[in-house]
Amino acid sequence: MFEAGLYCRADDRGDPVVQLAPPLISGQKEFDAIYEILRGVLDEAGRLL
């Protein structure tokens, strides 16, 4: 995800989670960008599994 432009971190329990924390002033454009990046990364991860 980092290479695609999203910062990520592990859950403190080690569970597989995706944590998003967009800025409070995010608009539709920013949420659309997050969605596109996340979808691409998860699709690629699914192909690799």
CA–CA separation, 26 vs 35, rounded Å? 13
Give the residue numbers spanning the domain of 40.
1-49
The per-residue pLDDT for 20 is 83
Total domains in the fold of the chain? 1
- Give the global pTM: 0.71
Length of the chain measured in residues: 49
What count of other Cβ atoms lies within 10 Å of the Cβ of residue 5? Answer: 11
Q: Which residues lie below 8 Å from residue 39, measured CB to CB, with a gap of 6+? A: none
Per-residue pLDDT of 1-49, as tens digits, reads 788 887 777 678 877 778 888 888 999 999 999 999 999 999 998 999 8
pLDDT at residue 27 in the model: 95
pLDDT value of position 40: 94
DSSP 1-49: -TTTT------TT----------TT--HHHHHHHHHHHHHHHHHHHHH-
